[in-house]
Structure 1
Amino acid sequence: MLDDIQVDDAVLALRPDFAVLVMTAHDLRNGPTDERSRAWLAEASAAPVQTEKIDAWKDAYRAFGAKPQRTRPSVDALTRRMPLPEINQVVDAYNSISVKHALPIGGEDLDHYSGPARLVRASGEEASEEALGTPDPGEVIWRDDIGVTCRRWNWRQVVRTRLTEETTNAIFLLERLEPMSLVELKQAGEELADLLSELSPQVRITSRVISRGK
């Protein structure tokens, strides 16, 4: 499945420094926030805000016409919600890594996908949930065969693929722009894999980095 996930050339032309670490996790066990995941959130909440990395995402939003003061990159929105909100164990895990590394991370239920994930520039005709609205032409979106799964690169995900306490198979999208290095991107992925393995010792994780020329 990882080989079928695509980043369109039009997105890479917009930001040649973009890379995404795609991670799938099978046989997860999720549950409500507990003391362990609460501690992960608390540790991340105490970390200093890495403004330079967040500013890179604001610039990327402006490049396709979005206003980051109105629709904030996900990691920018998270860093403004201290202490971090408690959602469930798996979401707490990836939110803590997201804030620690100033790295947008999307986590979604793989079983609710239809076809592979693709990062594209929207035509403006893609199907989308009413609460998110229809994407603007040229907007960067994640989508599958049904339609939009996340608008404005990493601004907001659809309800359809949301991670819940019943999720057993998930996909995580760790999205990097400079000044974050590819080394740090892979390190963040390893840290997330460690937390997921702590929650679910039986979990099976695979990953792939997609970037320009790869």
Structure 2
Amino acid sequence: MASDSADIKAWLDTVTIDPAVRVLRPDYRALVLAAEGLRPGPSDEASEKLLVSAEEGARAWLAHTPVEEHPHLAAWREAFRAFGAKPQRTRPSAEALLRRAETGLPRVDRLTDIYNAISVAHVLPLGGEDLDHYAGPARLVRATGEEDFGTTAGGEDVVEHCPPGEVVWRDDAGVTCRRWNWRQCTRTRLTLATTRAVFILDALGPLGDAELTAAGDALTEALLASSPGARVAACLVR
């Protein structure tokens, strides 16, 4: 479990990016937000408004630009190829969401809807996880192949192991997200009981620091509007 609720900022200071990942993509940055005092629950009017706005904005630029040609998404495709992933089969999370914008983004729960809307509106991969289910600090590494990744298959809980060299987020208990931002584990997923969460906003070269900060500010604003009294801390990790 992460540190107590008075110290989310200290937990953020432990988030790291392994040098092997920096070699692969020196332009990578992560804006990591930790929040406490969140109000979980089903999708509501506020989260619906955010999703509708994100869908409308995405449809406007997708009408004249193929999703894979967006500069930031193109950079993410290159990053996936660099460690052996095939982005046309396992897409960066933001691209996968944007491909659903035309017919409608998923409605999951209040917190998930908020971060999905920000991801689409700002065209960057963004994931959210339950901080109370973390074991130690979050770090971005290249997998050895021995780390456990808990997921589901055919409705059953299963444990997978990533190919060596795959870029993954992990903690002391195993992989929390495979292929940089492709699929999150079941252990740390957000639920209707989540009150403390960590959100990771991924950026590569085409997305500048000012744009990354703007996305973080939008996420913070939406979280505070949805959960009055919540506290949010942020850290830019390079």
| Conserved? CA contact 2:151–2:185, under 8 Å | no
Query: Which ranges of structure 2 fall in alignment gaps of 5 or more residues?
Result: 1-10, 153-158
Distance 1:145 1:73, change over 3 A: same
Counterparts of 2:206 and 2:174, CA distance in 1: 31
What is the TM-score when the length of structure 1 is the normalising length? Answer: 0.96
- Counterpart amino acid of 2:16? Q
Q: How does 1:59-98 map to 2 (within 5 A)?
A: 59-82=78-101, 83-98=104-119
Equivalent position of 2:189 in the other structure:
162
Counterparts of 2:45 and 2:212, CA distance in 1: 27
Equivalent position of 1:140 in the other structure:
167
Counterparts of 1:68 and 1:15, CA distance in 2: 16
- Counterpart amino acid of 1:166? A
Counterparts of 2:45 and 2:135, CA distance in 1: 35
Equivalent position of 2:235 in the other structure:
208
Equivalent position of 2:156 in the other structure:
none
Counterparts of 1:117 and 1:199, CA distance in 2: 25
- Counterpart amino acid of 2:173? I
Distance 1:130 1:34, change over 3 A: closer
CA shift, 1:130, in A, is 4.9
SS at match of 1:133: strand
Structure 1 position 151 matched with structure 2 position 172:
no
Counterparts of 2:167 and 2:119, CA distance in 1: 20
CA shift, 1:191, in A, is 0.5
Equivalent position of 1:33 in the other structure:
43
Greater than 2 Å deviation, 4+ residue runs:
130-133
Distance 1:15 1:198, change over 3 A: same
CA shift, 1:36, in A, is 1.4
| Conserved? CA contact 1:30–1:199, under 8 Å | no
Equivalent position of 2:200 in the other structure:
173
CA shift, 1:165, in A, is 1.5
| Conserved? CA contact 2:46–2:226, under 8 Å | no
Alignment coverage as a number of residue pairs: 211
CA shift, 1:133, in A, is 2.7
Equivalent position of 2:74 in the other structure:
55
Counterparts of 1:201 and 1:101, CA distance in 2: 24
Query: Which ranges of structure 1 fall in alignment gaps of 5 or more residues?
Result: none
CA shift, 1:156, in A, is 0.2
1:109-161 CA-to-partner distances (Å, cap 9, x unmatched) read 00000001110000011011254731110000000000010000000001111
Counterparts of 1:81 and 1:115, CA distance in 2: 34
